[in-house]
Amino acid sequence: MKNHPVTFEVVLGHLRKRTFAVLSTTDEEGKPCSAGVNYRVSELGGAVSIFVMTRRHLKKARNVVRLSRVSLVVPLPRRLLWFLPPATLQLSGHAKILDWTDDEGRDALRQFWIGRRILKAYEESYRRGETRNCFLKITPDPAINTYMVGSNIWQLRNHMESGAAKVIDPRGNI
């Protein structure tokens, strides 16, 4: 078995199929902070954006206000070899806070079942007086690192580094 080439289209396809990632930010003391988040990819005008719904008072949003650099790790679980670690996509980029009524963010979350549930919960909390709802809009850097994406698992036993790849958005503006 040969490794499958890891192309930008392959990576973007995996990113679009998934809805869970680990988001990492940096707090006021310079310490890394990570949280599991549901996300959705949106593409308008050729640029890829990743949307996460949250509230302004939560640590991830406060950290983004202070320092916009973030990273995301998207696990790609295996169906058959579920007992092995998942392949991953590793992205970094800049995040900004948008109002929870942002059309692009709302449209992105409407595209998947849990996203619609999240929107409904935030709408209900708004009706009860919650005013801190917001979106994080993440603009990824053009380079995405991957591990074990399209890799031959048997080859990895002896050459773990062969599972690493870097993919660059050919449009230069992921």
Cβ atoms within 10 Å of 169's Cβ, excluding its own? 18
Environment class of 146 (CB within 10 Å of its CB; exposed 0-12, middle 13-18, buried 19+): buried
- The answer to whether residue 118 is domain-embedded is yes
Statement: residue 1 has pLDDT above 60: no
Q: How many domains does the chain have?
A: 1
Determine the pLDDT at residue 172.
65
Place 52 in a pLDDT band, splitting at 50, 70 and 90.
very high
Identity of the residue numbered 142: P
- Domain of residue 151 covers 8-168
Name 133's bridge partners.
55
- Alpha-helical segments (H) within the chain: 8-17, 59-66, 103-109, 113-127, 153-158
Classify residue 1: in a domain, yes or no: no
**Structure tokens, 42:** 């949106």
Q: For 134-147, what is the mean pLDDT? A: 94
- Sorted by sequence, the CB contacts under 8 Å of residue 25 that are 6+ apart come out as 32, 33, 34, 59, 60, 63, 64, 67, 70, 95
2: in domain: no
User: For the residues 113-133, what does the mean pLDDT come to?
Assistant: 95
Task: Flag whether 138 is in a domain.
Answer: yes
In a domain, 126, yes or no: yes
Contact 8, 167 (CB under 8 A): yes
Is the pTM of the predicted complex or chain greater than 0.85? yes
Q: What is d(CA 52, CA 138) in angstroms, rounded to the nearest whole number?
A: 8
pLDDT on residue 142? 92
**For all residues of the chain together, what is the average pLDDT?**
88
Domain at 114, CATH number: 2.30.110.10
State how far the Cα of 46 lies from the Cα of 136, in Å rounded to an integer. 19
Asked, for residue 174, whether it belongs to a domain, the answer is no
**Which among 16, 63, 5, 66 is positioned nearest to 174, based on CA atoms?**
16
Quote the CA–CA distance of 69 and 46 in Å, as a whole number.
Answer: 22
Predicted confidence (pLDDT) per residue in 67-93, tens digit: 999 999 999 987 776 667 788 999 999
Answer yes or no: is pLDDT of 2 > 60: no
Backbone φ and ψ for 154, nearest 5 degrees, come out as -70, -35
CA–CA dist 166, 147 (Å, integer): 9
Residue 70 lies in a domain: yes
- Position 3 in a domain: no
